[in-house]
Amino acid sequence: MARMKFVCDAERCIECNGCVTACKNENEVPWGVNRRRVVTLNDGVPGEKSISVACMHCSDAPCMAVCPVQCFYRTEEGVVLHDKDVCIGCGYCSYACPFGAPQFPAQGTFGARGKMDKCTFCAGGPEANGSQAEFEKYGRNRLAEGKLPACAEMCSTKALLAGDGDVVADIFRTRVVHRGKGAEVWGWGTAYGSQQAGKPTNGNGVKQ
C-alpha cells in the first residue's frame, strides 16, 4: 500500500515560491491562507537554506489526536484529510502541528476564525471525487486523476518530491549518491575552487 509523502531537498530549493503559487492557483486558496510556504533559514547569509513546508501527512498525526470533534481521517494512501462540515474552527490542530500546516481563513471586521484549511496532498476531501462541492471546500483532487500534487510537479528544480514514500526516498537516495556531499557536489569546485577542480575524471565520474 502506498503511503503518500513529501520530501524537500534543501540543497536544491531556490526559494522561487513556485510551489506556493502552484498550490494557490490549483486549489484557488483564498487570501490569507497558505497551504504551502517556503521557509528560509539564515536568510541573506551565504549558505542559506530554504525548504518548502506544508502538511506532512504524518503517520502519527498530532492534529488528529487533539481534534475535539475528530474531523480528521486518514485515507488508505496515508493522506491526512479533514471534514469541514465537522470542523468547528477551534484551532487546537494549529497548536499541535509542528509544521504550522493548519490555516484559518479570517473574515469580517474582527477576523472571525473560519473552518480549518490545509494541504490535502491534492486529494480533495470527503465530497464526491472531482465534484464542484469538493473543489469549493478542499480544492482539486489530482490524485483521483492519476496525478501527483501540483506543487511537486511544478517544482522547477525538483527540490520538492511527492508520491509514495518508498519511491520518493529512492529518488532522493539516488540523487544524493550521484551528487555527493559537501565539496563533492557538482559545480562546487568550479564555483568555489578546489584542488580537484578542472581535473579530468576517471571512469566513475570521480576527480583524479
Binding site for other proteins (CB under 8 A): 2, 69-71, 73, 75-77, 81, 83, 85-86, 123-132, 141, 143-148, 152-153, 155, 158, 161-164, 167-168, 171, 174-175, 178
| Shortest reach from residue 154's CB to other proteins, in Å | 11
SS (H, E, C) the chain: CCCEEEEECCCCCCCCCHHHHHHHHHHCCCCCCCCCEEEEECCCCCCCEEEEECCCCCCCCHHHHHCCCCCEEECCCCCEEECCCCCCCCCHHHHHCCCCCCECCEECCCCEECCCECCCCCECCCCCCCCHHHHHHHCCECHHHCCCCHHHHHCCCCCEEEEEHHHHHHHHHHHHHHHCCHHHCCCHHHHHCCCCCCCCECCCCCEC
- Which CB, 2 or 197, lies closer to other proteins? 2
- Which CB, 106 or 154, lies closer to other proteins? 154
- Which CB, 1 or 45, lies closer to other proteins? 1
How, if at all, do strands 4-8 and 160-164 pair? antiparallel
| Shortest reach from residue 174's CB to other proteins, in Å | 5
| Shortest reach from residue 65's CB to other proteins, in Å | 14
- Which CB, 41 or 65, lies closer to other proteins? 65
| Shortest reach from residue 95's CB to other proteins, in Å | 20
- Which CB, 108 or 146, lies closer to other proteins? 146
| Shortest reach from residue 128's CB to other proteins, in Å | 5
